[in-house]
Amino acid sequence: MAYTGMTQWESITCQNQEPHEHRTFEIEVDLSERHGYLNFAPIPERLWLPRFKMEVWDWTVAAEASEPVEGQWCPARCAISETIAEHGIWEPPETLTLLNLFEAARLSGEQWDFIDVGAQLGWFSMLAGQCGLIPICWEADQEVSDILQRNLDRSAEFYAIRLERIGRDSTGFWDPSPHPAIMKIDIEGAEPAAIKVYHASFEQGLIKAALIETTPRFGVDVYAMADQMINEYGMVAHILPHILDHLDASYEPYDQIADLEATTSPERIVEAAEAGNQINVLYRQPDVPTVV
């Protein structure tokens, strides 16, 4: 059963002026295989899911049509599609972290939601759906949302898609779900606005963990966001390794959240964000297990 919310913002559509086709194709994902990020540890056997198929953009069509113009958005010129097709996985540290949380949710015996703000084609939501969580997705682009819906039809019995762009001026609130929830936010600098939209759920402790892209380059006040998550909502922060850390010989692969650096210092989040330019931070309630 699926439902789609009403758009409250102007839709984001392809802005490329050169005519080109937006094509898709189907790939099969097998998390038991060794993925293409050779210095990252493979997904451990305890977290393997059944093979699944997903629809991705044929990024080569848009790429061959014309060179990308700065500031012009084309959903089909898609690094996510290319990466999953070429490497078999998207964002290994984030995938591994969320799979651990999804497994903990499954083992709890309760019904959980997965709130995916900036869902794109639904990589993380598909994983959540296969683990029995209900994906609640925010996606601003109509074309992308159509593919997201088809992908979720493959992997989730129940889901919701809200076709809406969360921006810095967003004032509405999503009604809190009665279920505990895991959240992912990746919306190019509007992450604090998404936290604001879900303030009631955070305040009530319904969101048990939130994986948030954190970067100062979009003008985000990293300290204020970290301080809110840690000191207002009572969460512990875990800093995920930067995608380039796997090139460093000192990088030590991990397979559970307990292996990640933990902190309750907003200053440490700022330091890590400025050093890496863009990082992902997991915030979790202290009662959320770090080992499954």
Instruction: Give per-10-residue mean pLDDT for the chain (292 aa).
Output: 38 69 93 80 91 94 60 80 93 94 96 96 98 95 95 96 81 74 93 92 95 90 97 97 56 79 96 89 95 86
| 45 C-beta neighbours (distance < 10 Å), count | 9
CB 102 within 8 A of CB 48: no
Q: Can you give the pLDDT at residue 1?
A: 39
Q: Can you give the pLDDT at residue 156?
A: 96
**The pairing of beta strand 159-162 with beta strand 2-4:** parallel
Q: Can you give the pLDDT at residue 264?
A: 97
Q: Can you give the pLDDT at residue 228?
A: 98
Give domain 92-284's CATH number out of 2.60.40.10, 3.40.50.150, 3.30.1490.100, 1.10.530.10.
Answer: 3.40.50.150
Q: How far is CA 117 from CA 23, 45, 153, 198, 202, in A?
A: 24, 28, 18, 11, 15
Domain(s) of CATH 3.40.50.150: residues in the chain: 92-284
Q: Can you give the pLDDT at residue 67?
A: 61
Inter-axis angle of helices 142-155 and 123-130, nearest 10: 20
- What tokens appear for 209 in the block? 């963990």
Q: Can you give the pLDDT at residue 172?
A: 62
| Distance between CA atoms of residues 103 and 125, nearest Å | 14
The letter for the amino acid at 44 is P
Q: Can you give the pLDDT at residue 171?
A: 63
Q: Can you give the pLDDT at residue 51?
A: 96
